[in-house]
Amino acid sequence: MGLSRRFLNLIVESRIPGVKSLRCIDLTRQHFFNNTTPQPLNGNGSESEEGPQDATSWAPAADAGNLKNTHTTAGASALKMGRIWLPSPSFNFRATTSSVEEDKQMHCFPIGDRRVICADQSGSCFLVDAERRRVVTMPHLHKPKSAPLPLFVPSADPDDHNDGGGILFVMESAPEPEEGCSAQLSHQFEAFVYRKPVSIYYHKSWHCHPLPPPPFVCDRKCRENLPKISSYAVVSGGSHVCISVEGAGSYFLDTASYTWSHERAWTLPFRGKVEYVPELKLWFGFSAKDQSLAAADLTDTDSQPQLVSPWKEFNPHEEWQVSQDPQVVNLGLGRFCIARFFHNRTLNRDCKDEPNEQNCAVLTGVEVVPSRVPEANGNGGNGKVDLHMITHKSRRYMSNGSDGVINTVF
């Protein structure tokens, strides 16, 4: 089975504040998948006869009595896994400088394969298109964002596909309370829209619009808790955006009228971005409980969505500390790349026990496959389809900061 895309894109942060680069790994040269589907491992390390299961390719699944030894084995194996050598930058870019004391920042918002919109601490924006090797100026944000969450809705118009058109929503992850009603416009929620300036124009371009805030931002009951957006997804074929808010429930934004509606008491069982995978007809993301890869059906939003078989693809070394939330990239045809980020601090004995700090990004290729559930008597199947994850290959990138740190994968 091949892939529906050729490149895995990385945003690499330089040691210089506000400087980043876009790098593109060619998946035809850097392989994260085996040529043939590997047999999963069972508890004793031999090949399983039960079909694909959740197991890593370098460490057997553990039973309760052997958990400590398995963690030790998995940690040692993590240090022995193959390394990634970063390709040369496709683009380098930096934040604007308006004053010496200004804290330089650069936020990157992916809008598809090899396209990313960048915004700095002043609200200045531009689009980097690695496919066409060009940079496009963009309208400013109405207000710079401190910790933004991006969510892209591709255009349904086939004429926009070559230009990567659609709507990019940019939301503050922890919005400040606002006075007034939710019908007024807010600079904490904005949208880049690819459209014609007026109907008589032939060419389309990007425009930035402030949006009304979700109701919880103007709710006096939420002012003391300052709730955060815990997860978000595009649902209903792109007609709505769903956000879940800690302690406040879920809200739905109509992507045509920009109005909020359908408040729900429940929250999505995920943490971070959730993405629809058409081949499997489910939404995939990381579980809110332990950040394992998981899936759910978000077709019916009248009731609390339930997770489908969370899977764990990687056991880190015991000394590695998680440095940021994991990310998953849909590579098509049921295949994904999972990125996990760690920080490690050891003593450098060659330099009088000075601390040696390293950042580690682990990229793992996994495959989610459907299989029919057999009947209790073992004869045939009962028509129910279950999902299993197969782990292929993992590669790590180690950095002490001088050669750049991976912080975004798309």
Q: What is the pLDDT of residues 294-345, one digit of tens each?
A: 999 999 988 899 998 899 999 998 889 999 999 999 999 999 999 999 998 7
pTM, full prediction:
0.85
3-state SS, 184-232, equals CCEEEEEEEEEECCCCCCCCCEEEEEEECCCHHHHCHHHCCCCCCEEEE
Residue 102 gets which letter from DSSP? S
pLDDT more than 90, % of the chain: 60
The answer, yes or no, to whether residue 88 has pLDDT greater than 90, is yes
Burial 52-84 (b: 16+ CB within 10 A, else e): bbbbbbbbbbbeeeeeeebbebbbebbeebeeb
pLDDT given for residue 270 in this prediction: 98
pLDDT 10s digits, 35-85: 865 554 433 333 333 333 343 333 333 333 444 444 455 555 566 789 988
pLDDT 10s digits, 114-143: 999 999 999 999 999 999 999 999 999 999
The structural domains of the chain, with segments of one domain joined by +, span: 31-83+306-410, 88-268
Question: Phi-psi region for residue 142, left (φ > 0), alpha (ψ -120 to 50) or beta?
Answer: alpha
pLDDT given for residue 38 in this prediction: 53
C-alpha 121/C-alpha 103 separation (Å) is 7
pLDDT 10s digits, 373-395: 666 665 555 556 689 999 999 99
pLDDT class of 231 with cuts at 50, 70, 90? very high
Residue with tokens 């590669």: 395
Bridge partner residues of 387 (DSSP): 370
255 neighbors 294 (Cβ within 8 angstroms): no
pLDDT given for residue 41 in this prediction: 40
pLDDT given for residue 396 in this prediction: 95
Residue with tokens 């800690």: 246
pLDDT given for residue 279 in this prediction: 94
Q: In what order do the strands lie in the sheet with 321-332?
A: 82-83, 381-399, 354-374, 335-348, 321-332
> For 346, how many CA atoms within 13 A lie in the half-sphere containing its CB?
10
C-alpha 69/C-alpha 221 separation (Å) is 49
The CB density around residue 297, as the number of other CB atoms within 10 Å, is 12
pLDDT given for residue 49 in this prediction: 38
Q: In what order do the strands lie in the sheet with 106-110?
A: 106-110, 115-120, 125-129, 134-138
Residue 89 gets which letter from DSSP? P
H/E element, 92: strand 91-94
pLDDT 10s digits, 242-291: 999 998 999 999 999 999 987 899 999 999 999 999 999 999 999 999 99
pLDDT given for residue 63 in this prediction: 38
pLDDT class of 1 with cuts at 50, 70, 90? low
pLDDT given for residue 12 in this prediction: 97
pLDDT 10s digits, 350-368: 666 667 789 999 999 999 9
194 neighbors 170 (Cβ within 8 angstroms): no
C-alpha 307/C-alpha 279 separation (Å) is 18
H helices within 260-314, ranges in order?
none
pLDDT 10s digits, 170-229: 999 999 999 877 678 999 999 999 998 877 777 899 999 999 999 999 887 777 778 999
pLDDT given for residue 51 in this prediction: 36
pLDDT given for residue 169 in this prediction: 99
